[in-house]
Amino acid sequence: MAKRIFMATAAKKDYLKGLVPYRIKRYWAYIAATVVALVLPWIKVGDNHFFLLNFDHKQLHFMFVRFDMQELYIMPFLLMLLFLGIFALTAFAGRAWCGWACPQTIFRVLYRDFLETKLLGIRKNIKNKQKEPDWSKTENKVKEGIAILIWSALALVAAADFMWYFVPPEDFFKYLQNPAEHTVMIGFVLGVAAFLVADVVFIKESFCVYICPYSRVQSVLFDEDTLMAVYDPIRGGKIYEGHGEEKHKIVNKQKDVLAQNPDNECTACES
């Protein structure tokens, strides 16, 4: 039986050889989205930006075309198109936005997976990302403080980038030279940065569960043809028995899953 399980596992590894995991593909998508968000405010055709809602000069730039206040009636239509696009994406591809392009997801991956895990090693030995490290250790507390400081600096960059879609970069840095005359702009940037620190460090995934309005409407947009990332017991194997409060786990290691059926693909990672 052990030899059979080993052969089945080896065959699976040969089958997966050369394939790029979706986790890695999502990281590339995060990098692409970040680069686009950072670079787009700097791109101009003539004096027009791709998107700029400038309250200072009372202008809207969209796709390098400038509109003045008398033409702002197009804004509701743009917002409707945006939401219709997101709703259509949700109906077709499920939570693709949440997993591949949502800023909340990107910021949490950057903070938890890169800063806390790769850079500082706080979560290095934790397979289940929902579990917390041992905060009773002084070493972990110090590293967490360093992670918060690094993220605070990155949050300022993210807040400034957000502001660039309302105050163009060429004006933004000019205004920073006279902070006393532009306290509202600076206060807004600092407020957004403070929110990002509180959100990513302390609120975490609870933002998606309790605060995000998009997550509240997703279920009504799903149908039988919507793509969904859910556990498939037929492919992975039976992990739980019972329902509701009586639901309990029946396997804890991959060998127990393979003992049910050598073709089961669950790795019992609990992630």
Q: What is the pLDDT at residue 37? A: 95
Which region among 11-15, 114-118, 204-208 has the lowest average model confidence (pLDDT)?
A: 11-15
Q: Confidence band (pLDDT; 50, 70, 90) for 154?
A: very high
Over residues 12-40, the mean pLDDT reads 84
Tokens of 191: 């407020």
pLDDT at 129 over 80: no
Residues 104, 155 contacting (CB under 8 angstroms): no
Domain membership of residue 8 (yes or no) is no
Top pLDDT among 5 and 133 is at 133
Query: What's the total number of domains in the chain?
Result: 1
Which structure tokens are listed for 234?
A: 């037929």
Q: What's the rounded Cα separation, in Å, for the pair 66 and 51?
A: 9
Question: Is 70 inside any structural domain?
Answer: yes
Render 231-266 in DSSP notation, one character per residue. Answer: --HHHH---EESSGGG-EE---SHHHHHHH-TT---
pLDDT number for residue 9: 47
Is residue 36 very low, low, confident or very high in pLDDT (cuts 50, 70, 90)? Answer: very high
Q: Is residue 248 part of a domain?
A: no
Q: Are 267 and 12 in contact (CB under 8 A)?
A: no
150-175 in b/e form (b: 16+ CB < 10 A) is bbeebbbebbbbbbbbebbeeebeee
What digits encode the pLDDT tens for the residues 159-181?
Answer: 999 999 999 999 999 999 998 99
Tell me the residue range of the domain where 77 lies: 20-221
Q: Please name the helix (run of DSSP H) or strand (run of DSSP E) that holds residue 61, with its range, or none.
A: strand 59-62
Mean pLDDT computed over every residue of the chain: 84
The answer to whether residue 7 sits within a structural domain is no
**pLDDT value of position 109:** 94
Query: Would 2 be classed as within a structural domain?
Result: no
Would you say residue 112 has pLDDT above 70? Answer: yes
Residue 148 counted as domain residue:
yes
The answer to whether position 226 is within a domain reads no
What is the rounded distance in angstroms from the CA atom of residue 60 to the CA atom of residue 54?
6
In a domain, 250, yes or no: no
Identify the residue with better confidence: 101 or 92: 101
Tokens matching residue 152: 């605070």
